[in-house]
Amino acid sequence: MPDYKTMDFNIIASDCLIATNTDSKRIIDLLEALKEKYTDIELIAVFNYFLKIEYNADVLCWLVRTLDKYRDSSSLEPLTNLLLMQDHTPNADYDRDYYTNVRVLCAKAISNLKDHSSVHVLMHCLNDKNENYKIRLSCADALGRLGDKYAVTTLMDVVSDENEKSVYIRESAAVALGLIGDIRAIDSLVGILETQNGIMDKFTYLKEKVVEAICKLNPNKTDRVFKALKNSLMDENPQVRINTIEALMDYETPEAADLIKKMLKDNVEEVQRNAVIALYNIQGENILKEILNSAEYSQNCKEEAQSILEEECENEE
């Protein structure tokens, strides 16, 4: 096998019909065949080069997905250039939106390389409000997966920006903050829960992701955080209430337990069941027996309590 540093990439590209108007399936079949001929390190070098010269979106998607499986550091530059469209200037045949799906895959592949030098590129795309929202969304997700605390301030700004047109981007920024786990984000996230008008009333899914992030951050048990979570138990979105129950469970205080106990009478079965589980984690088997022996709790609560007790018995055996 030849050393990849001495390989003629142009000849291989010609053999694979790269950068031609050939049907993409035909090109991809030719690319697949290369796996029988070259080593992994050679394939990575070849595919990195093809990223720079290919312009068919389907072929580029295949290349990015394949390179993402190898996760070699040498792919960072071509992936970054493609995300930024530095090697693929739109022309009469292909406008910028034509490459959206390719660039979304690039953001994910870049984050999987775990090279923290890429944080600036991802932040640049996220902050560009003229950029396609799918690209910005994927970059917010990528920053969360990358886990670089340098991105926290940018993500905090995004999640708090009430002028942001896409609530989905704010949601992704909240999820990313939870994944990064920097406690500095807590004030911004609690601020979202404290907002009572406008976009928050319309898009409660954002609050769902915010509460989820707060739970992951495991913040200091301040009165402000506790009050915000307490108010979230009254949210119209059941998942917000479920996530809040999980967050309150970490408090392990009588007041938190009392709030969760009230959720046993929620009008949604899944909320009730999650309240039973949370109370069991805080108070143990006694609360399960109380639920089973009390007429004030629903059959759903009793079934969940009985299920936990039976599982415990099986584990003891």
pLDDT in tens, 22-59: 999 999 999 999 999 999 999 999 999 999 999 999 99
Per-residue pLDDT at 187: 87
Residue 199 has pLDDT above 50, yes or no: no
Confidence of residue 201 (pLDDT cuts 50, 70, 90): low
CATH pick for 116-218 out of 2.60.120.260, 3.30.360.10, 1.25.10.10, 3.40.190.10: 1.25.10.10
Confidence of residue 96 (pLDDT cuts 50, 70, 90): confident
Q: What Rg value do the Cα atoms of the chain yield, rounded?
A: 25
Element (H, E) at 170: helix 167-180
List of residues 6+ apart from 157 with CB closer than 8 A: none
pLDDT digits (tens, 9 = 90+) for 222-236: 788 888 899 889 888
Per-residue pLDDT at 205: 79
* Number of neighbours of residue 125 by Cβ within 10 angstroms: 21
* pTM for this entry: 0.81
Dihedral sign for Cα atoms in the order 6, 84, 40, 74: positive
pLDDT digits (tens, 9 = 90+) for 119-174: 999 999 999 999 999 999 999 999 999 999 999 999 999 998 988 888 889 999 99
Confidence of residue 203 (pLDDT cuts 50, 70, 90): low
Question: Which tokens sit at 94?
Answer: 């292909």
Q: What is the rounded distance in angstroms from the CA atom of residue 117 to the CA atom of residue 130?
A: 23
Q: What is the rounded distance in angstroms from the CA atom of residue 129 to the CA atom of residue 227?
A: 33
| Mean pLDDT, all residues of the chain | 89
Dihedral sign for Cα atoms in the order 98, 31, 9, 46: positive
Confidence of residue 195 (pLDDT cuts 50, 70, 90): confident
Instruction: Tell me if residue 131 falls in helix, strand or coil.
Output: coil
Contact between 176 and 144 under an 8 Å Cβ cutoff? The reply is yes
Instruction: Tell me if residue 165 falls in helix, strand or coil.
Output: coil
* Number of neighbours of residue 42 by Cβ within 10 angstroms: 18
Confidence of residue 289 (pLDDT cuts 50, 70, 90): very high
Element (H, E) at 31: helix 24-34
Contact between 261 and 291 under an 8 Å Cβ cutoff? The reply is no
Per-residue pLDDT at 93: 67
Question: Which tokens sit at 86?
Answer: 């530095």
Amino acid (one-letter) located at 34: L
Among candidates 259, 306, 313, which has minimal Cα distance to 282? 259
The residue written with tokens 């917010």 in the block is 140
List of residues 6+ apart from 103 with CB closer than 8 A: 82, 83, 85, 132, 135, 138
pLDDT digits (tens, 9 = 90+) for 234-247: 888 899 999 999 98
Domain map of the chain by residue range? 1-113, 116-218
Beta-carbon-side half-sphere exposure of residue 276 (alpha carbons within 13 Å): 26
Q: What is the rounded distance in angstroms from the CA atom of residue 176 to the CA atom of residue 179?
A: 5
Per-residue pLDDT at 1: 43
